[in-house]
Structure 1
Amino acid sequence: MLDWQDVDTVMLDMDGTLLDLHYDNHFWLTHLPQRYAQTHGLNLQEAEEQLVKQIDSRRGTLEWYCLNFWSRELQLDIPAVLREIEDRIALRPQTQAFLEALRQMEKHVLLVTNAHPDGLAHKLEITGIDRWMDGIISSHELNHAKESTHFWSALREYVEFEPDRTLFVDDNEHVLAAARDYGIGHLVCIRQPDSRGPLRDITDFPAIHHFEEILAL
């Protein structure tokens, strides 16, 4: 159980934490390979193999999250292709109630995401979650992905917070490890970031399925 008296600042990831990761997974694993194959005259298996090789080589870096980079690399208008399936963008269960509860408790709530500014703006346009935020920070503004400890020191120069009185919720264990190494005091991992994916066994961090597990909703 989390003692909310020990928390002043709440930092929240977006994709897989507040929003259903199904949209992103479907795009990168299903929709993009189809569009890439059509554009470059490949069969689907060839397209999937080429994309996996290119994408995995950048995993955990800022480029991995950069829509401009992938537009150039893949010779596709990635933001436009993302909009083709925007009907799949959705809040995870209890997200709105959780954000409203944080506002009632007068916590300082920050959206801290690796999402590229173009993708971020698109999702905020669809979901409106920015209305509950006191600040929104994309790692692209700080030139480091959240997986890097450099991100966290840069973040503290960008916005005021006390690490030991901060709760950070994310679905990425590598990101949470970097936050732990920096000294963030309260860490929580999401067990099922993709509503159509499995419940994951998280061993290194406290983990929840829904927000009611850390807040009475």
Structure 2
Amino acid sequence: MRILICDDDTLIIEQLKKYIESYFESNHLKCPELVSFTSGEALLTDKGEKDIVFLDIEMPGMNGIYVGNELKKANRNVIVFVVTSYSEYLDEAMRFHVFRYLSKPLDKQRFFRNLKDALAYYNSITLKIPVETKQAVYSFPASQIIAIEAQGRKVIVHTARQDFDSIHNMNYWLEKLPQNSFFQTHRSFIVNFEHIVDFDHSTVHLSNPQITAYLTRRKYSSFRNAYLLYLESMR
């Protein structure tokens, strides 16, 4: 993982570095590579992976709104934090799906909470899940799994690529999948929040229109709350 910081204020860069290093140290985790830039132009010329980016809005030359849009064009999964004193840019920043909006001066505890959410989201979209069938073992990011469906004794893993007949049961998948991104809506269905289009009290419609998951009434409230919490964490 690489975490990038782009701000024309070197004091803010140092503060962000200090907070990031402190977070990883306090959680007994290895700190990832930290790279800093003082201009949007320099950031965009960087050829390395861009996993999490802390981005100032008001900078000479390319402003953060332009840079954020370019980052998202290159990689829609990049996690962008907007760090600025100017709240009037919030609406523009939200258009390129900024992950969080952090106001200056930075509050350390709020920063830690938001970084924790970002790392959980990063793990959910990059975590490789093995799908074992009778013929072979396939591996792909959890984000590509749309739903797990039980049809009698058969368990089908619906993915964005194709469907797979898993040799494992539903309990296995409940333990294997990241709990912040998946929910068992019915004994026959586990759905990925990322692929939900809409839902009512009995059904959940997913990004693949051929898959409709059942939603039991007794689970409706807990499912709704978990989904809204997921959406909130994606803002």
TM over 0.5: no
Higher helix share: 1
Greater length-normalized contact order (CA 8 Å, ≥ 6 residues apart): 1
TM-score scaled to structure 1, two decimals? 0.30
Question: Larger Cα Rg: Structure 1 or Structure 2?
Answer: 2
TM-score scaled to structure 2, two decimals? 0.28
